[in-house]
Amino acid sequence: MTPPPQIPEGQTAGMVADAPKGNWVDLYAPPGARPYLRLSRADRPIGTWLLWLPCLWALALAGGADGFTGWDLWLAASSGVGAFLMRGAGCTWNDITDRHIDASVTRTRSRPIPSGQVTVRGALVWMVVQAALAAGILFTYNWLAVGLGVASLALVAVYPFAKRFTWWPQVFLGLAFNWGALLMWAAHSGAVPLAALLLYAAGIAWTLYYDTIYAHQDREDDALIGVKSTARLFGAQSRTWLWGFFVLTMLLFAGAVVAAHDRLIPTVLGLLGIWAMGWNIVGQMLRLDLDDPASCLVAFRANRNAGLIPVPFLACAGWLG
C-alpha cells in the first residue's frame, strides 16, 4: 500500500498547499465538509470569479445595449451561484481524472483525493450533487440558454484530458470557462449575436493569458511527468506570447463593444472600461516573474480585479446613452 503523502512543514493537516492561508473553509467549515469543499476549490475562490466574470460581462454588455429588466438581477445572482457549483463540479471531475498526476506534483499532492481525504466514489457522488444543483438553476432560463448549458458539459468532460494530447490545454479551458458569455447573453435576449461571439473569443484569449501564467508554477513537475501546457510549449518566449494574448483580448473585447452598440456614448464608455482593464493587466506583466511560482500565483489571482473593472462601465453605457 502506498503511504500517504508527507504534509509539508508549516502546513496544517488537510489543507491544500496552494490554498490561501486562513481561508474560510479551513477556519469555519464543519470538519466533515472540509475535504469536499476543498475538492470543489471553495478554499480558492479565484476560479469561481474567473468563471463568473464572462457571465457578468455578457449581462452588462447585453443589458447596456438593449436595456435591463428585473430578470437580469436573477440572471446575475444565479449565474454567480451556478459558477460556484459548476466550477466545483468541474474541479471534482478534474481531480478524479488527474488523481495520479496530482500525486506526482508537489503543489497538488495535498489535494483531497491523492492525500486520501476523499475516495473516488465519494468524489463522484459529490460531483453529481453539485451538477444537479446547478441544473436546477439552469432550467429556470429560456430554452436556448438551457441548450447551451447542456452543450457545455462536453467541454467540461474533455478538458482534464487535454493536457495529455495537446500542448494547448489552455484553449480547452478557455472554451469551457467563457461559455457563460454565450449562455448569459442567450438567457438575457434569447439570441447569440456577433457581439456575444466576439466577447466569448475575448474571454478565450484572456484565459490563455492568465492560465499560461498559472501553468508556469508547475512547468518543472509537468516536464518530469510528461504533462503538456502552453507554459512548457512557449518556454523562454512565454512573455512575448502573454503580451500577444493580452493585445488579442483587448481587440476582441473592443470589437464586442462596438458590435453591441450603435450609439457613440455607450461605445466610448465601454471602451473606456476595457482600457482601464488593460492598464491593470499591464501592471501585472510589469511585476510578473515567470521563474517565481509565488509571483505567478499573485499575477493569476490579480485577474479577478482586472476582469471586474469593465463591468460597471459596460452596464452604465446603456443608462447614459
Contact 260, 64 (CB under 8 A): yes
Q: What is the pLDDT of residue 311?
A: 95
CA distance 299 to 207: 13
pLDDT for res 319: 64
Using CB atoms within 10 Å of the CB of residue 244, give its burial: 0 to 12 exposed, 13 to 18 middle, 19+ buried: middle
pLDDT at residue 2 tops 60: no
- Please write the tens of the pLDDT for every residue from 286-317: 999 999 999 999 999 999 999 999 999 999 86
Residue 82 has pLDDT above 90, yes or no: yes
For every residue of 150-210, DSSP letters joined together read HHHHHHHHHHHHHHHH-S-HHHHHHHHHTHHHHHHHHHHHS---HHHHHHHHHHHHHHHHH
User: 5-23, pLDDT tens digit by residue?
Assistant: 444 444 455 777 767 788 8
List, for residues 266-285, the tens digit of each pLDDT value. Answer: 899 999 999 999 999 999 99
Where do we find the cell 470569479?
49
Rounded mean pLDDT of 81-98?
A: 94
Tens of pLDDT, residue by residue over 193-210, are 999 999 999 999 999 999
pLDDT score recorded for residue 225: 81
The mean pLDDT of the chain is: 91
Give the mean pLDDT of 168-190: 97
Are the C-beta atoms of 54 and 180 separated by less than 8 Å?
A: yes
Residues 79 and 63: beta-carbon distance below 8 Å = no
Average pLDDT over residues 238-267: 95
Please tell me which of 61-70, 90-99, 303-312 the model is most confident about, judged by mean pLDDT: 303-312
Task: Provide the percentage of residues in the chain whose pLDDT is more than 90.
Answer: 71
Tell me the mean pLDDT in the region 102-127. Answer: 87
pLDDT tops 90 at residue 134: yes
**3-state DSSP call for residue 97?**
helix
- CATH H-level, domain 31-320: superfamily: UbiA prenyltransferase (1.10.357.140)
